Amino acid sequence: MSARDQHGLAAPHGEFQIIGKPQRKIDGATKARGSALYTDDLCLPGMLHAKTLRSPHAHARILSIDTSAAQALPGVHGVITGQDMPTPYGVIPWTPDETALAVDKVRFIGDEVAAVAAVDEDTALCALDLIHVEYELLHSYQSPQDALERNEPAIHKNKRGDNVSKRVQLDFGEVDKAFETSPVVIEGDYSFHGSTHAAIEPHCALAQVDGNGLLTLWSATQITHYVHRALASVLDLAPHRIRVIQPAIGGAFGGKSDPFSLEFCVAKLAQITGRPVKMLWNREEVFYAHRGRHPMDMHYRTAADESGRIQSVDAKILIDGGSYSSFGLVTTYYSGQLLTGPYDFPTYRFDSTRVFTNKPPCGPKRGHGSVQPRFAFEVQLDELAVQLGMDPIELRRRNSIGPQTMTVNGQRITSCGFDECLEKVERASDWKSRRGKLEQGRGLGVAGSMYISGTNYAVYPNDMPQAGIQLKVDRSGVVTVFSGANDIGQGSNSMVAYVVAEELGLTLDMLRVVAADTDLCPVDLGAYSSRVTFMVGNAAIDASRKLRKLVVSSLAEHWEIEERRVRLVGGEALDLEDPTRHMTMAEAFQIAEVKHDTLGATGSYNTPTLGGDYRGGSIGASPAYSFSAHVVEVAVDEETGHLDVREVWCAHDCGKALNPTLVAGQIEGSVYMGIAEAIYENHQTNRFGLHAGPSLLDYSMATTLDTPEIKALIVESLDPEGPYGAKEAGEGPLHSAIPALSNAIFDAVGIRLRHLPFTPEVVLRALREKREAERQTASPGNNP
Amino acid sequence: MLRLPPFQLEEPKSLYAALVLLAEAKGQAMIIAGGTDLLPNLKHRLFEPKLLVSLARIEGFVGIELQEDGALVIGPMTPLAQVAASELVQERAPALAQAASLVAGPQLRTQGTLGGNVMLDTRCQWYNQTYFWRQSLGYCLKKDGTECHVVKGGQKCVAAASNDTAAPLMTLQASLCFERLNEKRELPIRDLWSSDGIWNKRCDQDELLTSIRIPAQEAGHRGAYGKLRTRESIDFPLLGIAARMTLADDGTVSDAELCGVALAARPSLVRGVSEALTGTRPGTDEFTSGLESAAQLAYKQLRPVDNVPGSAWYRREMVPVLAKRTLQAAARGDGPVHPL
C-alpha cells in the first residue's frame, strides 16, 4: 500500500457536490427504456448458434462419444467434445478441476459433454440428439455424509483418494480451557440449505475471430479478467490475441463469477467454423450451472460468562460443494474466517470440511461462505440471551468489538459502526416498548453481522494493483473513464462517474464510462467479494486527483493566481476570490492541454498487507469491514405454519454512502434475497439425483407480494481508507436477516428453528412438537 | 429459451370452421385457447401435435351473459381476469370469481381463459419438466414412460387436476357444452372428470368446449374459494377448496357443499357437509361445531398424494384448515381465502 491508496475523507472542494447525494444511475434510463445492449442482443453477420449436450447421469465414466451423425446433419458447422479442450481450469488456480466439456467423466446431471454450432438453435438441438455417448454408471453421491464416509469411486482424483474438496482447521487461543471454565455453554446443530442466484438474464456468450486471428468474446460475466486468463490457458492462445467484453448484464449475484463452459465452447467453435458463434443458456441450464449457496451442516458451541461476555466459539462444519471446486477453497476458509466480528471473543476454533457430491456445483452467492455460519451463530446467541435472561440486543452490544481493533484470528478492524447499527434498528422497530408485548403469534428478532469490503487475497498471487482506472479528456469537456470493473447492476459504472465528476467539478452528463473491456480498460479483478466500491473508488480518486492537479496548475498559471484559489465545480472553473474570472471546464481542459499536451491520467489501488501470520491468514482479510444489524417482525399462523414477515429494519454501516439511493437499494435487495431464500427457495436434487425443479415455477422465488416492508437505515462510520470513507453495501445486509427471522419466530411462538428453510411445513411440525411436549409436561402424571 | 416444436397453426374465424379443422385432423390436432399452459407444455415436449387450432378469432367466444332464467353463460375464451372482475359473476357465482382471481398471476389471467382452465391438463412434478429432465429420469407413466414415480408400482396416473376454477364450477353445478362436427352435447361438469391422470376428462380430445353454463343459484347463495400455494402469486394450487352455502331466510344454513382440487386427477366433492351444517346459524357454537365436523369430513375424504411439488403431508394437514376457513368466508360473504 502506498500514498496513492489513501485519499482522506474530505470533499475535494470543501463540500461534496455529488457524493453523498441521491443520484440517478448513469445507465438507468437506457435499461428502463430497453435500449441497453445485453449479450443476447448482439448479432453479427453470419453468426451461428450453439447448444450444449448434457449428461443425463449423475456420475458416470464416458466410454465413447460418436459425433459423426451430428457432424453430417445439414446446417451443422461444428461439433466439439472434451477432447477438443482438455486443459483443466478453475477460478482458483490451486484447484483446476473443471474442463470446458467433460473429458473422461460426468459428475452431475446437467454436466456439459459436447457442443454444436449450427445455423440456428433448432438445428443445433437436432444435432445434439444425434450424438451418441456411451456411459458406464458410477455410484452417485447425493449427500455430503455419503461423500465423507465413502471414497470409491472418487468424484475427483486427489492424493488422499477421498472426496474431500478442502478442509480447514484453525485454532485461536485456548478453546478447550475456555469451555471448561465458562459457566454458560450453548451447543447445537444447525443447517443451511442450498439456494441459487437466479439472475434475470441467463448466461450468454458470443465469440468472433477476426481476419487477424483476434478472438473477441462478449460474455455475461462478472469477472472479465479471469475469463480472459482462463480462455488463454484453455485455448492455448496468447492473451494478447484475446479480447473479452462484458456488455450490459442482467444480474449476477456471484453466479457469473466463474469461467463457464459456454465461454470456451463459443470461442472454440468460432475458431473452428470461422464464423461468429453465440450460445444462450436456457433457465434450466442456468440452474445446472448453479455456483450458488453451499448447503452446510454446522455444529456450534459458544461459551460465555454470566454477564453474557463470549469466551469462546467452537464450530464444526460440513460443506456440500457439489461436483466441482469453483471458489470452494475460499468458501471453506470464509465459513470460519468471517465469523470473528462484530463480536469480540478471545478464543475460537473452527473445523470446516468441503466435500464433493454429484450435484450442480456450489460457489459464491451474495455473502459467500459466511451467510450460513452467521445464521447458526446468531441463532445460538439468541439462545444464549434466553438462557441468561438478557435482552438479545444488550447481549450483542456487550460483546461488540468496536473500531480500531483486531479480531481473534488477526483481522484488522478499522471503522466500525456496529453499535450504531444496533441502536438504529432498536429505535426504528420500537424494540424496547414492543418486544414481548405483541399479540400472540407475533414477534421480533434481532441479529448482527460483519462482511468484507474486498480481500487482499488476489485469487492469483501478484504484486500488481487490484484495481485500475484510466481517464481520457476531450476538448468538449467530456471525460471518459476506462474502468476494469464489472457493473453487474450494483452501479459500479455510476460510482466511478460520481467520483470523477466530484473530483474534477464536472456534471454527470460530462462523464462517459467505458468498462469491463480487456482491450480498452485497465485490469480490475472483478465484481466479487464486495471489492469494487472500495478498490475501484480509490483508484478513481487517485486518477482524478492527478488529472485535477494538471488542470488546476494550468489555470493558476493562466490566471496568475495561487492554486488554492482555483475551484472546479458544476462543470466550471472559477477563481474563488474574483467572481469575474470563470470558464467552462471545456475551456479549462484546453488551457491545460496547451500546457501539458494531451491530457490523461491513470489511478490504481492495492490493499495493504493484512491478515494473520498463519496459512490462510490472508483469506478473509479485508481493508475494511462493513457491519449490519437486522430486526425482523413476523406473524406466525399457528394453524398453518405460514410466516408473514411484516417488516424488516436493516441498519448497515457502509462507511460513507456515496449515493444513498443505491445503498438503500442494496440493503433492500439483500433483505429481499435473505428472507426469500429462508422461506421460499430450496436448491436441491431429488432421489434420482435430478435437480428438483430447474425452472422459475418450481424454484419459487419471492414475488413482490411475498416481500416484506423493508426499512433501510444507513450508518456512516467513515472508514479511514475507503473512498471518502466508503465500504461495501452489496452483500453484508443479507447476512443477519435470516437469523433475525428465526429469532423473531422464537419470540412469536416459542419454537427454535435451527434448520433452514422455514417452509410452512417445517414451522407447523415444530409447532406441533412443541404443543405435544407441553401436553406431556402438563399431563397429571408428569406433575412433580 | 426453450424452443417450441414445429406445428401448423390455424386461426378459424367461425365455430364451424374450427369444427371442420378438428374433424379433418382426426385426432392429430390440439385446441389452443390462451396458450398459457399449452405452450410451456409444447416446449417440454409433453404434446407433439401437427396442428394447433386457435380459438382466438372465433366470434362470440368471449363474454358473460345473464339469461332470463338467471343462469350465467360464459364463453370459453373469456379471459380469467374478466371472469374475476365481472360483477355478474361476483354476485351470482362468487366462488368462481374468486378462483379465477387467483389463477397464476395478472399477466397470465389476462391471457388465460376460463375454457382453458376447465380443460387444463393434469400436473405432476415428474411430468411438467423439460424433455432433457424427463429423459434423465427415464420418463413417467403419463408421458413416454411406463413407471409412476408418485405411487410405487402404480398402474394409474395420479397427476393432479390443478385448475382452480374446476372446484367452484363443481359446487355451482355448472354444465358444459361440447361440440363436434354435426354433434353437440351438454355435460354436467360433475360428470366430466375421470380418475385417470393421463386424460382426466370424459370427453374426446377433438371435442370443443363452446360454453360454460352456471345455473341460477338459490336465494341466499354464498360461495368462496380458498387456495394453498407456495407464493401469493403465480403458483398452481397445492390445494384448492370451493365452498357453497345457502342461507335460509331465517339466517340458518339450508345447504352446504365443499369441493377440493389439486389432490388427484379429479376434483372431489366432500360427502356429508350439508348434513353437518344444515340448521346451524353462522356465529353460533352449533355452526362452529358443524364447521369442525365438515372440516373433519374433508380431512378424511380429501387425500393429496405426492404428485404436485410440495409435501403431501402438509397439503393434507391443510385440508381441514382450508375447508373451515373457506366455509367461514362463504358464510360471511367474503373471501377468497388466500393466503391461508
The answer to whether B313 faces chain A, any CB pair under 8 Å, is yes
pLDDT exceeds cutoff 60 at A782: no
> DSSP per residue over A70-81, as a string?
HHHSTTEEEEEE
**Domains of chain B listed by start with CATH number:** 1-57 (3.30.43.10), 221-332 (3.30.390.50)
Query: What mean pLDDT do residues B241-251 have?
Result: 98
Which candidate from A637, A641, A703 shows the least CB-CB separation from B233? Answer: A703
What integer pLDDT is reported at residue A456 of this predicted model? 83
**CB–CB of A517/A245 below 8 Å?**
yes
> Could you give the angle at which helices A371-388 and A737-749 cross, rounded to 10 degrees?
30
H or E element that contains A425: helix A418-428
Is the fold of A3-36+465-605 the same as that of A296-457+612-772? yes
Contacts of B132 in chain A (CB under 8 A): 54, 56, 284
Q: What b-and-e string marks burial along B103-140, b requiring 16 or more CB atoms within 10 Å of the CB? A: bbbeebbebbbbbbbbbbbbbbbbbbbbbbbbebbebb
Amino acid identity for residue A127 in this structure: A
What integer pLDDT is reported at residue A752 of this predicted model? 98
- Per residue, the 3-state secondary structure of A628-681, as one string, reads EEEEEEEEECCCCCCEEEEEEEEEEECCCCCCHHHHHHHHHHHHHHHHHHHHCC
pLDDT class of A784 with cuts at 50, 70, 90: very low
Which residue bears the cell 390445494? Answer: B239
- Write the CB contacts of A776 (distance below 8 Å, at least 6 apart in sequence): A782
Contacts of A114 in chain B (CB under 8 A): none
In whole angstroms, give the CA distance from residue A552 to residue A575: 11
Architecture field, domain A296-457+612-772: 2-Layer Sandwich (3.30)
Structure-block grid coordinates of residue B120: 387444463
Query: What mean pLDDT do residues B285-306 have?
Result: 98
Interface mutation target, options B231, B306, B315, chain A, most CBs of A under 10 Å: B231
Structure-block grid coordinates of residue A197: 442466484
Interface mutation target, options A116, A126, A705, A763, chain B, most CBs of B under 10 Å: A705
Reported in sequence order, the residue ranges of A424-558 that DSSP labels E, i.e. its strands, are 442-452, 467-473, 479-483, 511-515
The answer to whether B152 faces chain A, any CB pair under 8 Å, is no
pLDDT exceeds cutoff 80 at A2: no
In whole angstroms, give the CA distance from residue A613 to residue A508: 44
For the beta carbon of residue A212, count every other beta carbon within 10 angstroms.
Answer: 6
What is the percent of chain A where pLDDT is above 70? 99
Q: Which tens digits make up the pLDDT trace of A429-466?
A: 999 999 999 999 999 999 999 999 999 878 888 999 99
**CB–CB of A723/A658 below 8 Å?**
yes
Q: Residue A63 phi/psi, 5° resolution?
A: -90, -40
Q: How far is the alpha carbon of B235 from chain A, nearest alpha carbon, in Å? A: 7
Which residue bears the cell 434450466? Answer: A284
Fold of the domain built from segment(s) A40-138+210-249+256-285: Aldehyde Oxidoreductase; domain 3 (3.90.1170)
Q: Which tens digits make up the pLDDT trace of B190-232?
A: 999 999 999 999 999 889 999 999 999 999 999 999 999 999 9
The answer to whether A757 faces chain B, any CB pair under 8 Å, is no
What integer pLDDT is reported at residue A204 of this predicted model? 98
Structure-block grid coordinates of residue A205: 456468450
The closest alpha carbon to B80, from B99, B100, B97, belongs to B100
Which candidate from A122, A280, A761 shows the least CB-CB separation from B311? Answer: A761
Question: Could you report the predicted ipTM of this complex, rounded to two decimals?
Answer: 0.97
Fold of the domain built from segment(s) A3-36+465-605: Aldehyde Oxidoreductase; domain 4 (3.30.365)
Cross-chain residue pair B230–A680, CB shorter than 8 Å: yes
The closest alpha carbon to A396, from A356, A371, A366, A425, belongs to A425
Q: What are residue A38's DSSP bridge partners?
A: A248
> DSSP per residue over B159-172, as a string?
PBP--TTHHHHHHT
Under 8 Å CB pairs connecting chains A and B tally to: 73
The answer to whether B339 faces chain A, any CB pair under 8 Å, is yes
Which candidate from A641, A705, A761 shows the least CB-CB separation from B232? Answer: A705
Structure-block grid coordinates of residue A406: 483486531
Q: How far is the alpha carbon of B227 from chain A, nearest alpha carbon, in Å? A: 13
- Average pLDDT for chain A: 97
What integer pLDDT is reported at residue B6 of this predicted model? 95
Q: Where are the domains of chain A?
A: 3-36+465-605, 40-138+210-249+256-285, 296-457+612-772
Query: What mean pLDDT do residues A325-338 have?
Result: 97
- What three-state secondary structure class fits A337? helix
Q: What are residue B231's DSSP bridge partners?
A: none
Window A:122-141, CB contacts with B under 8 Å: 122, 125
